Chain A
């Protein structure tokens, strides 16, 4: 009785159920079933630095193995007024990580009295992801404008990061870079938006894990434009005809009627408070 009652409680992750879960999974796989999987965002996310700032783009589909779990999820998350973050990988991990990071960034900038730097956000994210050794499965693209100009970083689930003028992540990481390799960083806004839209659309058409709409987020020094559903390359088709059967299509062969005799067993009246 002493052991449990004198332990001091701490917060954070609790590993009590890991053994039980391992035993359950082993038993299930013996019978041929599999344990439920986390919902992932098989994703296309991309980022590009142009003349005045940063554009982040993402698709909007979240998948659960081979089923589309969410047709219109938001993958571009707010971190600070001029810093946004696209998340790929496990949807819940990306969401909670970016929310915690947003709170941390706010606290930090209140403590320093200055607007936050993109490099600071990247550093905190990568230190946290390294601490959890990749078990938090979220890959992120952080982009924003701060005192040092527009910047773009990508962070992988195990904690490595990259600073590049254009970035793509998600399930189409390897097929999109050719789009961007021909860009120059002196593009103007419309060309850059078109380029990111084209890249995300290519991801939507060529990858089963990405789909629905294209979201864009344009961050410049003066403004932030969150263009939700900037483009909808895949429209739901219209049904050409009706598929209803006319009444009388199926012939009735026999008809039997069985009346059920019901007796009143108990009758009670409850007065409702209508005032």
Chain B
């Protein structure tokens, strides 16, 4: 259940942007795709739901782990988080979409359908990152 207010989320998740926040490809301001730049655009969310949706899964997990800690003690969430961390590492190459099957099974989201499965499915996205750049970035070579 979504019980955290939006105010507290605003303070926690202000993104730290570089010198040119509106940069697209080639590092210059990309007015066509990102619009005109303004300080307000960078700090405030454009839609009331934007922040709460971005952090929804994170908040759910935090709440569940807290409850579990209060009921069963520290070790229960610790062990579960270790399993989550292990399952999160099972990924394909960085530019290919991963199924995250183990993570979904652990979380229990493999038998529920939400908007994240219907809208904007990453498998059907029309854009793909450049394979070389993405693998070099992941390996830290870049």
Contact = CB atoms under 8 A, between A and B. Distances in A.
Interface of A: 1-7, 9-15, 18-20, 22-23, 96, 100, 103-104, 107-108, 110-111, 127-128, 130-133, 135
A6 to B, nearest CB: 5
A130 B4 CA distance: 12
A57 B130 CA distance: 55
B46 A12 contact: no
A127 B1 CA distance: 6
Interface residues of B, number: 40
Interface string B99-110: 000000000000
B125 to A, nearest CB: 6
Contacts of B10: none
B25 interface: yes
A5 B130 contact: yes
B86 interface: no
16 contacts: A3-B23, A6-B133, A9-B125, A11-B120, A12-B120, A15-B50, A18-B46, A20-B35, A100-B115, A103-B113, A104-B113, A107-B111, A108-B111, A110-B111, A128-B114, A131-B2
A14 B47 CA distance: 10
Contacts of B52: 131, 133
A1 B116 contact: no
B24 interface: yes
Interface string B110-142: 011111111111100100011001100110001
Contacts of B82: none
A15 B119 CA distance: 12
Nearest to B131: A5
A7 B35 CA distance: 19
Contacts, number: 95
Nearest to B94: A6
A138 to B, nearest CB: 14
A108 B112 CA distance: 7
A131 B112 CA distance: 15
The 5 A-B residue pairs with the shortest CB-CB distance, nearest first, are A9-B122, A11-B116, A12-B116, A5-B129, A18-B46
Contacts of B26: 1
B35 A6 contact: no
A5 B127 CA distance: 9
B41 interface: yes
Nearest to A3: B23
A135 B6 CA distance: 15
Given A14-B120, A107-B113, A133 B48 contact: yes
Contacts of A135: 48-49
Contacts of A6: 94, 129, 133-134, 137-138
B53 interface: yes
A81 B117 CA distance: 24
A12 B114 contact: yes
A111 to B, nearest CB: 5
Contacts of A7: 129
Contact of B134 (A3, A5, A22, A128): A5
B64 to A, nearest CB: 14
Nearest to A103: B113
B110 to A, nearest CB: 9
A5 B52 CA distance: 24
A4 B23 CA distance: 9
A55 B23 CA distance: 58
Contacts of B142: 2
